[in-house]
Amino acid sequence: MATPRATARTPGRRLQAEAKQAAILDAAEALFVSDGYELTSVDAISARAGVSKRTVYDHFGDKQTLFRAVLGRANDAVVATVRKAIDEELTEDRDIRDALLGFARRVTTGMFPTSDYATFRRLGSQAPVAPRLPEAARDQPERMMEERFAKFAADGKLRVSDPRRAMQHFVALTMRLVLDVTDEDQTVGKAEILGILTDGVDVFLRAYR
């Protein structure tokens, strides 16, 4: 049976362990983004985090597991943002064109410029050298969109026989096209982005409404 003194120290130890784990994740993320997976060493991560190398291994086991944890954290942030955008923009009581355009605008102008998304893209681009997340985790944003498109089809707002293919077409015509354009020219303004999205939504609806 634990003594009162030992029990009293337990929350403090847990908080200390959580703080060290967060410091390791923050340090690893910064280095994986700046230097890449291959060039980042556990020694560099432990030094940046202010912990021992042994502490890094105690928490994560190896560099591969640590990278997956960092990538998973970035993926979770993207999933949360997409889920909120779906819930607030792709609503049942909204005109379908307004809903699709609002969602695409929310993602491209609200999520794409964030540090969370930049981190997610930078980490994800390091495959196949770096470890990848399981497919179920990687595809979560697309699955959420696919489910909403299936609901729109069931409600008669879209003519869709394959919700996943329809979702892929929508993404390609709107958000992915914006990424392609802005990757080539980072001076592209919001007006041009809105024009791309508007054209993409209209083309999509001509095929699916």
Residues with pLDDT less than 70, the chain:
1-9
7-61 and 75-208 in the same fold: no
Domain boundaries, the chain: 7-61, 75-208
Residue 180's pLDDT is what? 93
Q: What is the DSSP letter of 161?
A: S
Distance CA 55, CA 113 (A): 34
Q: Provide φ and ψ at 78, rounded to 5°.
A: -65, -45
The CATH number given to 75-208 is: 1.10.357
Give yes or no for a contact between 201 and 104, defined as CB atoms under 8 angstroms apart: yes
Residue 127's pLDDT is what? 80
CATH superfamily of 7-61: Homeodomain-like (1.10.10.60)
Q: Which tokens hold the place of 8?
A: 């009293």
Residue 38's pLDDT is what? 94
pTM for the model: 0.84
The SS3 of residue 57 is: helix
Distance CA 104, CA 76 (A): 19
Angle separating helix axes 63-89 and 115-124, nearest 10 degrees: 130
